[in-house]
Chains A and B, each alone.
Chain A
Amino acid sequence: MELNILLQQIINGISLGGVYALEAVGFGIIFNILKFSNFSHSGVVAITAYFGFFISRYIYTHFLVTLIITTLAGGLIGVIIEKLIFRPIRLKGAPLTLFLVNSITAAMLVQQFFAATLGDDYYPYPVFMKQTSINIGNLTISKTYTLMLIISGLVLLLLTYVLKRTKVGIALRAASTDIRTPSLMGVNIDFVISVAFFIAGVLGGITGYLLGMTYSVDPFIGSMILKGIIAAIIGGMGSLGGGVIAGLLLGGAECLLIAEIGSSLTQIVIYSGIFVLLLIRPEGIAGKRYIIKA
């Protein structure tokens, strides 16, 4: 491979990886607190992708404004999903498997609903920029990808600030370690869980918007979240930083491999890689070994 093509692919890969990182963090935040794999995150992504499309196409075409509206809508959807389908079973003390079942069901509900109503068409976002790429020497950098990278970076920095410095963030981290003790300390755990879902929803909203903008919106856009989930595992469940690193690695590896060996072999190589990684290092790149407590 020539050097400039290689560089090109690496840049594309990192931008894609940025989105995977967002997905992984949105997924990991829920896993940290409630200890189940939240597949309904893909539902949030799909809904916001459509939402962003309709807003920017029919109501107000401005990149930043629509992005922010979509993001907030994503947060709201996250909270609604929590209140409607997770809170009832949480109050009944249902086993974790049931959370998993409900989250997969929610993902299925959203996907099939869109397939039934809007599935016949696909929906391209309006073009926000006149010039779609920047040229630096031999390199052509897509503006959308650059934007994706910048936004992912900013959001992750902001999230780090919220988690480390604000009161809610500290409560969130406390709840991640142990959900029962903070509630004895006077932390409103119901509220903290809602906040977690709100943050995850916000991340999902951004992901949905960016994915919809880069590709076009179809009912199966939510399944792209699965790459993010994979990044979360490779990074180590429960480690948000690990998820980010793994997301970037996965994005980069995917773009390079697709350019080199084609897309169907890439799938095989990536999944075998994960398989081997889990064999050698079951806790992921940065995760702590998950210990079952009585």
Chain B
Amino acid sequence: MEFYIKVLEITCLHTILVLGAYLMTGLTGLFSLGQGGFVSIGAYTASIAYLHFNVPFPMAILMAVLMGSAVGFVIGIPTLRLHRDYFLLVTFGFGEMVRAALLHLAQLTGGALGIAGIPKVVDLPMILVSILFITFLIYNLKRSRFGRNCIAIRDDELAASLMGINVYSHKMKVFILSSAITSYGGALYAFLIMFIEPNLFNWLESAKLIIITFVGGVNSITGAIIASVVYYSFGEFFRFVDVWRDVLLALAVLFVTIFRPGGIFGSWELSPKNLLRWRVKKD
């Protein structure tokens, strides 16, 4: 039983990170390879505050979230005005920079040895409540005026800006929110795994977060959550195929994108209304 709880905890934690990535990619079409940087920032900020400065746990989490948002803002200033691919590559560079910085600031971060001895404060109910809250937030954000503006930006940036939508400010808000969620996930991660190190999340892990949202369906929160739960729990259950699991994921993604470009779930959402009717809307 304990094993299943462990698996569930790790799976759900990754789902928080996927939701953070979903918010950004699903709403504005931004594609970031630097999510790992925010995970690390969240994890390190929270655990350093907790261990070195005796900040209480909730405050440490809050500090991690604030730190993540602030960094997101700074990174966003030059990059969000640029063409999408620049954003991708700058965020990639950002992830690598965070990693290098963590390795370099060894007095504070422990360098390559990482930080051990973080107490396990986070438990399953807490993560589940977080997921529920974040899903609720994203679901409503998506249906709000702001969210619909963002989707317009995703589908056609030029048309959206001609309709009077401030593309830059919308992207910035979404990016900051996504950074905040991701750092929150990172902070929880530190207090769940009890050990963090600079190589926690490389660019491939960051890319996976976004790839998973595409498998599930970039229009469907349900799809993103289900795809993430399946992928990460599969990985925990089948530890012996660890390396092959990414090969399988990659093949699955290619099949899905080629045969069903909208993702497995398209834009279908799990809701009482849709469950009663039980039909999958075509894109």
Q: Is A100 an interface residue (CB 8 A)?
A: yes
Contacts of A230 in B (CB 8 A): 89, 93
Contact, CB under 8 Å: A89 / B93: no
Contact, CB under 8 Å: B243 / A233: no
Contact of A109 with B211 at beta-carbon distance under 8 Å, contacts A37-B88, A274-B93 already known = no
Q: What 0/1 readout, one digit per residue, does chain B (248-261) give for beta carbons within 8 Å of chain A?
A: 01110110011001
Q: Is A92 an interface residue (CB 8 A)?
A: yes
Contact, CB under 8 Å: B85 / A108: no
List residues of B (85-104) whose CB comes within 8 Å of A's CBs: 85-86, 88-90, 92-94, 96-97, 99-101, 103-104
Interface size class of A (residues with CB under 8 A): 35 or more
Contact, CB under 8 Å: B261 / A282: no
Closest 7 pairs (CB-CB, A-B): A109-B250, A267-B100, A116-B243, A112-B246, A279-B78, A271-B97, A271-B93
- Of B137-145, B202-210, B226-234, the segment with at least 4 beta carbons within 8 Å of chain A is B202-210
Q: Give the one of A88, A94, A108 with max B CB within 10 A.
A: A108
List residues of A (113-147) whose CB comes within 8 Å of B's CBs: 113, 115-116, 119
A88 to B84, CA, bound (A): 23
Contact, CB under 8 Å: B208 / A275: no
Contacts of B83 in A (CB 8 A): 237, 290, 292
Contact of A97 with B93 at beta-carbon distance under 8 Å, contacts A105-B253, A112-B250, A237-B83 already known = no
Q: Is A150 an interface residue (CB 8 A)?
A: no
Contact, CB under 8 Å: A278 / B82: yes
Contact of A36 with B250 at beta-carbon distance under 8 Å, contacts A92-B261, A101-B214, A274-B93 already known = no
Interface size on B, residues (CB 8 A): 48
Contacts of A293 in B (CB 8 A): 158
Contact, CB under 8 Å: B100 / A104: no
Shortest Cβ distance from residue A253 to the other chain B in the assembled complex, whole angstroms: 14
List residues of A (45-97) whose CB comes within 8 Å of B's CBs: 85, 88-89, 92, 94-97
Shortest Cβ distance from residue B151 to the other chain A in the assembled complex, whole angstroms: 13
A101 to B29, CA, bound (A): 12
Cβ-neighbour of B250 out of A89, A100, A105, A267 (below 8 A): A105
Q: What 0/1 readout, one digit per residue, does chain A (169-190) give for beta carbons within 8 Å of chain B?
A: 0000000000000000000000
Q: Is A106 an interface residue (CB 8 A)?
A: yes
Q: Is A160 an interface residue (CB 8 A)?
A: no
Contact, CB under 8 Å: A102 / B104: no
Contact of A294 with B78 at beta-carbon distance under 8 Å, contacts A104-B207, A108-B246, A267-B97 already known = no
Q: Is A154 an interface residue (CB 8 A)?
A: no
Shortest Cβ distance from residue B69 to the other chain A in the assembled complex, whole angstroms: 18
Contact, CB under 8 Å: A109 / B100: no
A111 to B101, CA, bound (A): 25
Contact, CB under 8 Å: A98 / B81: no
Q: What 0/1 readout, one digit per residue, does chain B (155-166) give for beta carbons within 8 Å of chain A?
A: 001110000000
In the complex, besides A88-B258, A119-B243, A268-B104, 17 extra interface pairs with C-beta distance below 8 angstroms are A96-B84, A98-B214, A101-B253, A101-B257, A102-B257, A105-B257, A108-B204, A108-B211, A112-B250, A267-B96, A267-B99, A267-B100, A268-B97, A268-B101, A278-B79, A290-B83, A293-B158
Cβ-neighbour of A294 out of B77, B93, B158 (below 8 A): B158
